[in-house]
A and B are shown apart, each in its own frame.
Chain A
Amino acid sequence: MREIQAFNRFQRSMHLHYIHFMVIFFLTGLPQVAPHHFRWLLYFFWVPFAWFSPETTYLSGGMKVAMVLHRLAAVGLLIYAPLFALRELKNMGRWQIWPEGGPGAGIAELIKHYLSFQPGRFGKYNFGQKCLAWLTIVATGIMIVSGCILMFKDAFSPSAWRWARFFHDVGFFVFLVILPIHIYMALHPLNRKGFRAMFETGTLPEDYVKTHHPLWWEKIKSRGGGSMS
Chain B
Amino acid sequence: MRVSMLYDMQACLRCYACSVQCGIENRARLSRDGRGTPERVLENQRPELRFIFPVFHYLGNYPGRAVSYVHHCMHCENAPCARRCPAAAIEVKPYGPVVIHEERCIGCRACVEACPFNVPRFAPRMGKTYKCFMCYDRLEAGLPPACVEACPARALYFGTREEVLEEGRRRVSRYEKRLGETFTLYGAEKVSEATGYLHWVTVGPAAILEDYTLRPDAAQKPIEALDAVRTIGWVLFGASAAGVIGHFLYSLGKRVEE
Q: Does B139 contact A (CB under 8 A)?
A: no
Q: Does B143 contact A (CB under 8 A)?
A: no
Interface of A is mostly: helix
Residues in chain A near residue B87, CB distance under 8 A: 59-60, 63
Q: What is the bound-complex CA distance between A39 and B85, given in angstroms?
A: 12
Stretch of A73-81, A89-97, A100-108, A167-175 on the interface side: A167-175
Within 8 A of B (CB), among A115-173: 115, 117, 153-154, 158, 161-163, 165-166, 169-170, 172-173
- Give the size range of B's interface with the partner: 35 or more
Residues in chain A near residue B237, CB distance under 8 A: 173, 176-177, 180
Q: Determine whether the beta carbon of B233 is less than 8 Å from that of A188.
A: no
Q: Does B220 contact A (CB under 8 A)?
A: yes
Q: Does A35 contact B (CB under 8 A)?
A: yes
Q: Determine whether the beta carbon of A60 is less than 8 Å from that of B113.
A: no
Q: Does B109 contact A (CB under 8 A)?
A: yes
Q: Does B28 contact A (CB under 8 A)?
A: no
Q: How far is the CB of A168 from chain B (nearest CB, A)?
A: 10
Residues in chain B near residue A63, CB distance under 8 A: 86-87, 106, 108
Q: Does A86 contact B (CB under 8 A)?
A: no
Q: Determine whether the beta carbon of A169 is less than 8 Å from that of B233.
A: yes
Q: Determine whether the beta carbon of A31 is less than 8 Å from that of B104.
A: no
Give chain A's interface residues, CB within 8 Å of chain B. 31-35, 39, 55, 57, 59-60, 63-64, 67, 114-115, 117, 153-154, 158, 161-163, 165-166, 169-170, 172-173, 176-178, 180-181, 184, 188-189
Q: How far is the CB of B18 from chain A (nearest CB, A)?
A: 25
- Residue among A32, A55, A60, A169 making CB contact with B105, cutoff 8 Å: A60
Q: Determine whether the beta carbon of A115 is less than 8 Å from that of B240.
A: no
Given contacts A60-B103, A177-B233, A177-B236, contact A165 B109 (CB under 8 A): no
Q: What is the bound-complex CA distance between A178 and B220, given in angstroms?
A: 29
Q: Determine whether the beta carbon of B106 is less than 8 Å from that of A60.
A: yes
Within 8 A of A (CB), among B224-249: 225-226, 229-230, 232-234, 236-237, 239-241, 243-244, 247-248
Q: How far is the CB of B59 from chain A (nearest CB, A)?
A: 20
Q: How far is the CB of A69 from chain B (nearest CB, A)?
A: 14
Residues in chain B near residue A35, CB distance under 8 A: 86, 88
Q: Does B251 contact A (CB under 8 A)?
A: yes
Supply 16 further A-B pairs (C-beta < 8 A) apart from A176-B236, A181-B240: A57-B104, A59-B88, A60-B87, A60-B103, A60-B106, A63-B87, A115-B250, A165-B223, A165-B226, A169-B230, A170-B229, A173-B234, A177-B233, A180-B240, A180-B241, A184-B247
Q: Determine whether the beta carbon of A163 is less than 8 Å from that of B222.
A: yes
Interface of B is mostly: helix
Q: Does B177 contact A (CB under 8 A)?
A: no
Nearest opposing residue in chain A for B247, CB measure: A114
Q: What is the bound-complex CA distance between A159 and B240, given in angstroms?
A: 33
Residues in chain B near residue A34, CB distance under 8 A: 230
Q: What is the bound-complex CA distance between A33 and B227, given in angstroms?
A: 10
Q: Determine whether the beta carbon of A162 is less than 8 Å from that of B223.
A: yes
Q: Does B254 contact A (CB under 8 A)?
A: yes
Residues in chain B near residue A114, CB distance under 8 A: 247
- Residue among A33, A39, A173, A188 making CB contact with B251, cutoff 8 Å: A188
Residues in chain A near residue B229, CB distance under 8 A: 166, 169-170, 173
